[in-house]
Amino acid sequence: MFSLLLLLLLPLATPQNILIILLDDVDDLAPTREKGFPNITAHFTKNGVMYNNAFVTTPICCPSRGSIYTGTYQHNHRTLDNTVTNGCDGPNWDKNIAPNSLGKRLQDLGYRTGMYGKYSNNYRGDKVPVGWDDWLGLVGNSQYYNYTLNRNGVNEEHGLDYKKDYLPSLILDAGIEFMQDDKSKKPWCAFLSFPTAHESFDAAPQHQKLFKASKPPNLNYPSFNKTGDPGKHWYTSSRPALNNVSAKYNEQGWIRRLQSLQSIDEGFVRILKKIDPQNTTIIFTSDNGFYFGEWGMILDKRQPYEVTVRVPMYASGPLFPKGSTQDTVVLNIDVAPTAIDVAKKSGAGKPKPGVSDENYGLQFDGTSMLSLLEAPKARNSFLIEYHGMGNGIDSNDSCAHINMRCWYKDNKVWYTEPKFDIPDGEKFCFCVDSRNNTFTCERRVNNNNPGIFTNFLYCSFSSGFNEYYNLHKDPFQMKNMWGTLGEDQKWEFKRRIGRIRECRGFEECNQLDNSGFDSDKPFRDNFR
């Protein structure tokens, strides 16, 4: 322990290069790790830290990316959903996200920075955002073919030619070129943000025949296709059961996801051959998880349940122990603080004159994963939050008319093999979102203490609905136990949420770990 503390306290002679790899809609299921990216998993298993309890604080793309870039909760960076109106690459983004991003902070510490791939769901290609010296930004949402890229301020169109247009390959090529360019002699940070494995899950041609017999592991979950549960908020409980078409789509989508991930896994091996792993910190994660039929959900993630909020999170580099598996709770809001901490601990120069942490408009709500190596129990509780999209939609009937998406023959569902054939006249539809699918949750993780208030999820929805799950006894979140709690216990859950709903900074946002639930029967007086 002493040697580890000394290592963390003493700056290294050479500032560490930093590589961040971000996937899209990738869950933390064991089959995904083992089949989707085995080389990546093997690298971190041997050379880094594998986190068993890694979560996102908002389970949807654009808000989660805002949290990854800035190290802050959604309620502070104010990207509320995937629309420009609610902050996704609109004026709010330009004000809150870009100037407070890890790219800008690392630039101010003397780093050369490069961003490659998906930046946000609504990036318009009209500028290179502040904070990035080299830029290859995807215009709009995740695509593999038929898209526009902004390359350092110049837009270029791409089509369906694998050798010229397959976006994961272009991201890898541009990132590797940046990492090998050492003319400036500066340390670098490369942020590789892949569309993989977002729908349409397009794999490289050489991978399109793999995993044909693989099935989603969720098919065996008690939550699979469990619809109509009155214990779930209406957005979940009203989801129609999978029909023959949607169930087959779900299963074939699982296969395509595994196929598409092979390019990332093979690309990672290429990267390791081109960089100096002894002088590079690598962080690997995803922006959120993904449903595979739980409660009838497919093509979705914007709910606070385990399969959508748990993500892979791995880290390696000279400041991280090798071959370590940690139960420490780490979050997407920890990525930016970790990058900055690595830069400073490894000898990065002082910030530019007049620039300090206080000069940034947003302060970190997360913390460095290096500090969590010293104090692994520093965080047990955290916030999960989301602001639902819609126009005051409060019922499934309204959603059926306003906010439905349907998949049918005319959609030409997938353009690449293996294609999905929807029979003529058949389709499947579901409600995409609703305004009152807005929630604030406390997720507490303490697997060493099996008390009913040590490993739980409590959620308060804007509709007034509440959900509480004891994850020791109910890991699949099948039984909403809110109605069984005493009034004093309900009051305490609501009070705790109220304390962190608008928190700012790690100390304030992490205060729940110093405030109770030490026994199975918390009462108001325990917290006064």
Q: Helices (H) and strands (E) in the chain — how many of each? A: 17, 16
Task: Classify 410 as helix, strand or coil.
Answer: helix
Task: Classify 459 as helix, strand or coil.
Answer: strand
How far apart are alpha carbons 97 and 84 in whole angstroms? 13
> Could you tell me the two tokens for 20?
């961040």
Helix then strand then coil, in percent of the chain rounded to 5, is 35, 20, 45
Q: Answer whether the bond into residue 197 is a cis peptide, omega within 30°.
A: yes
How far apart are alpha carbons 286 and 48 in whole angstroms? 17
CB atoms within 10 A of CB 161: 9
How far apart are alpha carbons 95 and 91 in whole angstroms? 6
> Could you tell me the two tokens for 227?
């619809």
Using alpha carbons only, what angle is made at residue 319 by residues 289 and 321, rounded to the nearest 5 degrees? 70
How far apart are alpha carbons 361 and 197 in whole angstroms? 33
Q: Which of 61, 62, 88, 459 is catalytic?
A: 61
- The 3 state secondary structure assigned to 107-159 is HHCCCEEEEEEECCCCCCCCCCCCCCCEEEEECCCCCCCCEEEEECCEEEEEC
Cβ distance 18 to 339 under 8 Å? yes
Q: How far apart are the first and last CA of the chain?
A: 36
Q: Of 350, 302, 376, 405, whose CA–CA distance to 52 is shortest? A: 376
> Could you tell me the two tokens for 81?
């959903």
How far apart are alpha carbons 225 and 227 in whole angstroms? 6
Q: Of 264, 268, 288, 267, whose CA–CA distance to 280 is shortest? A: 268
How far apart are alpha carbons 487 and 495 in whole angstroms? 12
Question: Side chain identity at 62, as an amino acid letter?
Answer: C
How far apart are alpha carbons 196 and 7 in whole angstroms? 35
How far apart are alpha carbons 308 and 81 in whole angstroms? 16
Q: Which residues pair with 15 in a beta bridge?
A: none
CB atoms within 10 A of CB 512: 20
Q: Counting every residue, how long is the chain?
A: 528
Give the Å distances, CA to CA, from 354 to 357, 358, 360.
Answer: 10, 10, 11
Question: Side chain identity at 26, as an amino acid letter?
Answer: V
The answer to whether residue 459 is catalytic is no
Provide the 8-state DSSP code for 239. P
How far apart are alpha carbons 305 and 294 in whole angstroms? 10
Which residues have a catalytic role annotated?
Answer: 61
